[in-house]
Structure 1
Amino acid sequence: MSVRSAWLLPNGQTREDTRLTPVGTYAPESEMRTRDGVIAGGAPFAATSAGAMSLQIGVGRALVQGTDAQGAYPVSVDAPAVLTFTDGEAQFARIDSVAVRVYDQLFDQAGQNLATVEIIRGTGSATPTAPSMPSACLRLWDVTVPPGASAGTGGIPWASALGDRRRFTSAYGGIIPRGYGLAFTGTYDGQYRDNGTGLERWNAAAGAWQAYPPTPARPISTKQVTAAPVNQSGAFVDFTAAAWPRITFTVPPSGAVFVTVGGQVSNRSTAASTAWMTWRATGAYTEAHGVLNGLSAQAGRVIGTRRVYRDGLTPGGQVTLIPGWNISSNAGTDVFVTDGQLTVEFVQ
């Protein structure tokens, strides 16, 4: 095993140290801290069985964060490391962790300047948990050691004992690859990560990772079930929810939507008679039935649609659209408001 770290040895680093360690890979985690993690590429720090109680850790590169005062250590492992686990406890299982660890005598009590891959031993328990990591230590793998495990009893069942705990990092502005665990917050507005199925962007104002590009919301619509009773004239009337279901939607971040109403309207009672198919809005946005959003006919029949644009709505607000109708008179000659459909399209 050969483990190298840049900016650690007091007598200077070799040219090979500088070439092999990932200097410049700094994804900020706070004002002074760097996100530690594995550098993607191939299968860094892959774990394979090397015997009943031994595990081989493959080559790889990483960044190991110490305290704020220490800063972050670029590390590379350029030859496989074989680690041997101590025998299992008599009664309980335990979880040991394999980690890249940096010792720096200016900041710890070990009295040496050294980067290494080592086992951090856990504690046997009826419900074992992984050990806490010391400072300047990056967890790679958890290994469950069964009670009584030893070379003479068959050792560690590697197929089921390994828990992959490698998390990844990237350079500033880069996309953080998916690794162990996605339960971490972003550190600056516009940071990107790969969640395994697509990209996400950190929205600092919302305090959340959001799909990027945003997933377009599909239009939603509702259809008229029964014809308007046309038993009132001269006033706009709401359809009952049973006759034409309402639409309730959440205003998108743009604060804008298109609303379309369409169907058949007719009134040939007189040359001046009219029929209307409309909608009104309640909730985070209000708008009345009327000429600004309705589809109408005068002294005849119209089959068509009316699409209108509405902006300036409050993002995240809940709005309900209620279909309506109006006739000016009813002498029984082709008077109807029917076959309606109301649709909301979200503007991204």
Structure 2
Amino acid sequence: MPVDPWAIDGLSLSGLEARTSDAALIMSDGTALGSRSGVRPGDPGLTVSLAGSTINVSAGVAVVAYSGQGVYRAAFPSGVSPGTLTAAHATLPRIDLVYLRVWDNSVDSSGLNKADIVYLAGTAAASPVAPTPAGTQIYMPLATVNVPFSGNGSPTVSTAVRPTTVAPGGILPSTTAPSTPYNGQYWDDGTSLRRWNGSAWRTVSPLTPQITAQVNQPPTSPLSTFTDFVTGDWPAATVVVPPSGMVRITIGGAVGNTDSTTAAAWLGWKAAGAFSETTSEANSVSAVGGRTYASRTVVRTGLTPGASLTITPQWWSNTAGAGRRISNGQLIVEPMPG
């Protein structure tokens, strides 16, 4: 069946034809004709705020997608107020909703053809949830308003429910991963840049390593157990475990003990937080009756993404003579991409 394409002289497109063609300009929602609703990333428009009990929404533009109908582009050239907050409940909190609504008589038989901003009060409850618009088919949430019970504080606005959208191939900033990613799609999760490889999201953005350097040698007293460097002698390093769950740890320095043929010195580290580990042959450098200038790198996997990990340098020696040396140390802790 032939269709009317953009843009040929003499053709007259219906609203449905124009909206469906516009879908080609907006990120797909994973369906053949569907698109992702949202505001533009970095656009301060359509921001919801409160002035006392008055709800205000700033000027802005958005795309509202509806299944089988393409996309509705709505522009509000000036700020609007959809109303005032309903009074707080005496004993129970409430969550209200502010949303962008599109009326299209050819779709909803409403008798209307317009877009507006709507405020909808929720139901007070011990564990309240945001309301769902009734009788409205085409809409996009802009914000929720958390309304505490009377005398328990002021209402607050959250824009977490407001989606963002980009052109096809654009990098989508969102705290939630796209539900139907395509191979090669990029997504910014707020911490890292991720790429869908067909089966999993892989981190591709540079991840910042934490580096600390040794300031002073450890105390002269010999010890029988591995001991932390104090912060003033050599600070610990703390990182957040990346989505890959992998961290690379490197420690090195000048290590030696020539007090005797059995005199030993060790340099290593301990881990706390995302996992626990102390200095051992698996994560250290050492010398017995001599000296070495070396580093040791290990990779730890299977860690919980988002967990905090602190690596603290440790030392040990069995003598305290002039031949013992643990100096010029450096610790590098690197979150690794997947």
TM bucket normalised to smaller: 0.5 to 0.7
Q: How far apart are 1:38 and its partner, in Å?
A: 1.3
Instruction: Identify the match of residue 163 of structure 1 among 157, 170, 188.
Output: 157
> Match of 2:46?
45
Q: How far apart are 1:262 and its partner, in Å?
A: 2.5
| SS class of match (1:62) | strand
1:35 aligns with 2:23: no
| SS class of match (1:38) | coil
CA distance change for structure 1 residues 103 and 277 in 2, over 3 Å: closer, same or farther? same
Gaps of 5+ in 2: 1-5, 7-11, 231-235, 271-275, 304-308
> Match of 1:117?
116
CA distance change for structure 1 residues 341 and 226 in 2, over 3 Å: closer, same or farther? farther
> Match of 2:140?
138
| Residues in 2 aligned to 1:249 and 1:56: alpha-carbon distance in whole angstroms | 42
> Match of 1:277?
265
More displaced stretch, 92-101 vs 35-44: 92-101
Residue pair 1:130, 1:142 contacting (<8 A) in 2 also: yes
> Match of 1:305?
293
Q: How far apart are 1:137 and its partner, in Å?
A: 0.8
1:345 aligns with 2:338: no
> Match of 1:152?
none
Residue pair 2:187, 2:195 contacting (<8 A) in 1 also: no
| Residues in 2 aligned to 1:90 and 1:345: alpha-carbon distance in whole angstroms | 53
More displaced stretch, 214-223 vs 86-95: 86-95
| SS class of match (2:211) | coil
CA distance change for structure 1 residues 204 and 226 in 2, over 3 Å: closer, same or farther? farther
> Match of 1:62?
62
Q: How far apart are 1:83 and its partner, in Å?
A: 5.8
Instruction: Identify the match of residue 301 of structure 2 among 315, 322, 328.
Output: 315
| SS class of match (1:171) | coil
The within-5 A match list for 1:206-217 is: 212-217=205-210
| Residues in 2 aligned to 1:242 and 1:211: alpha-carbon distance in whole angstroms | 37
TM, length-normalised to structure 1? 0.53
Per-residue CA deviations over 1:242-267 (Å, capped at 9, x if unaligned) read: 5979x999998666543314245224
Q: How far apart are 1:173 and its partner, in Å?
A: 3.4
Q: How far apart are 1:62 and its partner, in Å?
A: 1.3
Residue pair 2:102, 2:115 contacting (<8 A) in 1 also: yes
| Residues in 2 aligned to 1:87 and 1:340: alpha-carbon distance in whole angstroms | 65
Q: How many pairs align?
A: 287
TM, length-normalised to structure 2? 0.54
Per-residue CA deviations over 1:117-165 (Å, capped at 9, x if unaligned) read: 1425335647775421454311235579999xxxxxxxxxxxx778363
CA distance change for structure 1 residues 285 and 161 in 2, over 3 Å: closer, same or farther? closer
| SS class of match (1:173) | coil
> Match of 2:187?
192
Residue pair 1:275, 1:335 contacting (<8 A) in 2 also: no
Residue pair 2:228, 2:315 contacting (<8 A) in 1 also: no
Q: How far apart are 1:202 and its partner, in Å?
A: 3.7
Q: Percent identity?
A: 18
> Match of 2:14?
12
| SS class of match (1:215) | coil
| Residues in 1 aligned to 2:252 and 2:148: alpha-carbon distance in whole angstroms | 65
Instruction: Identify the match of residue 201 of structure 1 among 182, 188, 193.
Output: 193
| Residues in 1 aligned to 2:88 and 2:296: alpha-carbon distance in whole angstroms | 75
CA distance change for structure 1 residues 172 and 296 in 2, over 3 Å: closer, same or farther? farther
Gaps of 5+ in 1: 1-5, 148-159, 230-238, 328-333
CA distance change for structure 1 residues 85 and 281 in 2, over 3 Å: closer, same or farther? closer
| Residues in 1 aligned to 2:59 and 2:315: alpha-carbon distance in whole angstroms | 66
| Residues in 2 aligned to 1:81 and 1:163: alpha-carbon distance in whole angstroms | 17
1:241 aligns with 2:226: yes
CA distance change for structure 1 residues 71 and 263 in 2, over 3 Å: closer, same or farther? farther
> Match of 2:9?
none
> Match of 2:170?
174
Residue pair 1:39, 1:60 contacting (<8 A) in 2 also: no
- Look at both structures and tell me which one has the larger radius of gyration over its CA atoms: 1
Residue pair 2:45, 2:61 contacting (<8 A) in 1 also: yes
> Match of 2:252?
260
| SS class of match (1:37) | coil
Residue pair 2:63, 2:72 contacting (<8 A) in 1 also: yes
| Residues in 1 aligned to 2:302 and 2:48: alpha-carbon distance in whole angstroms | 46
> Match of 1:294?
286
Residue pair 2:254, 2:325 contacting (<8 A) in 1 also: no
